[in-house]
Structure formats: structure tokens, C-alpha cells
Amino acid sequence: MHLNIIENNSLIICYSSESISGLNKAIIQLNTANKNMYAILYCNKSKIDCNELLGLNELLLKSNIKLINIYSSCRESIITAESLKINGIFSRKNFDKFNPSIEDRSDNKDLTHFGMVRSGDKISSNGNLFIMGDVNPGAQISAKKNIYVWGKLCGVAFAGKNGKDDSTISSLYLNALQLRINETIAIGPKEKPKHNYPEIALLERGKIVIKPLIINS
């Protein structure tokens, strides 16, 4: 299990633990008492049951940390998350590939931006980039790894600046003017999305394709 704790205007802290007690010690070390933080839970193929998720969520809330999303390739985990009113997002991606360890933070500086990215703005990250808001037309965002937009992506997005083809671009509303992953460039969708689920852009056979990101329970 991997837990990414996002601190406002700070780095993403990646933690790996086999137990709630181990996670508890890590959170205490963060000293989050006077901070409002967000958490994203990544579960690969492992199944997380209702009791375990309840305990995890209670632990986070006591430390002023809000669990906002759960990514998993296990359908049961997605259903468990939705039953507890936590946003569950389905993905078959191997999360281990883009979750740097705590020791790697100095070399993999993830960035979280809270708020709208307006036309003319440019935001770049040396690791993963998290945008907690909309990216307007005329705005440019880029990252050496992956891009996640919790809002509308209507500007230009460039993921995989580190030269890797396995980087992705995800958004709650993907209507970008231009998408780029490594050296591959694609013009965004001509028509506005008519659905109400997030999408992910990734490379397949040398082309950028867009796929649904959520499985409804």
C-alpha cells in the first residue's frame, strides 16, 4: 500500500507501510496538527476492505488530513471507497513506478498547486504535478513525470519531460488544447467531453490516446 500525503505548497510525501500502526508513526513525524493536508491512496492489485479503509480514514482525519482519492486496479477496493463516500478511481497502472520513496524526494520534487491556472501562467514540476483547480486555455503545465488535474484541463499539458513514455496526464475534465507525452504531441479533443467521469491520456503504440479513468460502482 502506498500513501501520498500532499502538503500545501510542499512536496508529496510517499510512504509505504504494511500496517496502520506503521502509518501512524509516519504521520506523527509529519507534525500535521496545525496544517490542512490532503491524501491520495494508491493500491495496486491488493484489496483494501471496509474496516481497514475506515481505520485509515479515521487516522488521517485525526491528523487534519483529508483522504480525497483512492486509485486501484482492484474493483472491490473501488466499491469499498465509493461506499464510504471516498472518490475511487480505477487504473491498471503500476503505481510503484511513479511513487518515489521518502529518500528519493530530493531528486524527485513533486509539486502541488492549489487554485486556478490562468491564461499565460506556466507551472513546471521536477516530479509529478498536482493541480487542485482548473487549467484555463492559454495556460501551460509540465512535469518530468505525471500530471494530475483535479478540475478542468483546457490549456497545454506536457508530461514525461524526463524522456519516459510511461508518463500520463489525468483530469476530471480533459479538454486540453494540446497534450504532449515525452516527444509525442497531440491536439486535444475537437469536441467538449459530454460525460461526467475523469479521463487519462497515455501513450499506446506511439500515439496519445484518451481513456476513462473511473469505474462506477
Residue ranges of the chain assigned to CATH 3.40.140: 2-104
pLDDT in tens, 71-127: 777 778 778 888 888 877 776 655 444 443 323 333 457 888 877 888 888 898 888
Type and span of the H or E element at 42: strand 37-43
The reported pTM is 0.52
70: β partners: 41, 88
Residue 211 CB neighbour total at 10 angstroms: 11
CATH number for the domain formed by residue range(s) 2-104: 3.40.140
Type and span of the H or E element at 39: strand 37-43
Residue ranges of the chain assigned to CATH 2.160.20.70: 111-212
CATH number for the domain formed by residue range(s) 111-212: 2.160.20.70
E strand map for 79-168? 87-90, 111-114, 122-125, 129-132, 140-143, 147-153, 156-159
